[in-house]
């Protein structure tokens, strides 16, 4: 399977955090899976590090380097990824989800026929079969 990791899954993986759920670790360790990180995750870390460096100790450069060392493949951004955001199905009665980075990551996974691995509690509200909640 081609797996696109949510930003927090990337951080927990490269820091070997105990917060990484066991199911995520199993997916990451399966040699049949190809692991991707997105340019959107690097952008997210750059933005959040600049605003709150005490909560986000990694810079975008450091996270990108850690992903490369982990042999994750980079998923670049495309216009189609952005346009796919408009096709994401989210129920009107679900808790509000405003994170633009999450929406782009999910749209990338959908557009590229990948599975999106996340621990975010709001993402499963999207009616998208590409989501793997962990």
Q: How confident is the model at residue 2 (pLDDT cuts 50, 70, 90)?
A: very high
- Measured CA to CA, the distance from residue 127 to residue 88 in angstroms comes to 8
Distance, in Å, from the CA atom of 38 to the CA atom of 42, rounded to the nearest integer, reads 7
Say what the pLDDT of residue 20 is: 96
> Residues 14-45: pLDDT tens digits?
999 999 999 999 999 999 999 999 999 999 99
List of E strands, 6-100: 34-38, 73-75
Say if CB 91 and CB 105 are below 8 A apart.
no
Domain spans of the chain? 2-133
Structure tokens at 93: 């009665």
Burial class of residue 3, CB neighbours in 10 A (0-12, 13-18, 19+): buried
Tokens at 130, concatenated: 């590409």
CATH superfamily membership of 2-133: 5'-nuclease (3.40.50.1010)
pLDDT tens, position by position, 63-110? 999 999 999 999 999 999 999 999 998 888 888 888 999 999 999 999
pTM of the model: 0.93
Number of H helices, E strands in the chain: 6, 5
């Amino acid at each position: 399977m081609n797996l696109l990791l949510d930003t927090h899954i990337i951080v927990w993986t490269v820091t070997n955090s105990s917060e990484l759920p066991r199911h995520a670790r199993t997916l990451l360790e399966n040699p049949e899976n190809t692991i991707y990180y997105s340019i959107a995750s690097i952008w997210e870390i750059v933005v959040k590090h600049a605003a709150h460096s005490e909560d986000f100790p990694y810079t975008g450069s450091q996270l990108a380097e850690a992903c490369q060392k982990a042999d994750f493949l980079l998923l670049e951004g495309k216009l189609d990824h952005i346009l796919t955001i408009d096709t994401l199905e989210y129920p009107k009665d679900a808790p509000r989800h405003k994170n633009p980075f999450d929406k782009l990551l999910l749209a990338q996974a959908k557009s590229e026929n990948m599975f999106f691995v996340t621990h975010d509690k709001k993402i499963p509200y999207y009616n998208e079969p590409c989501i793997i909640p962990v």
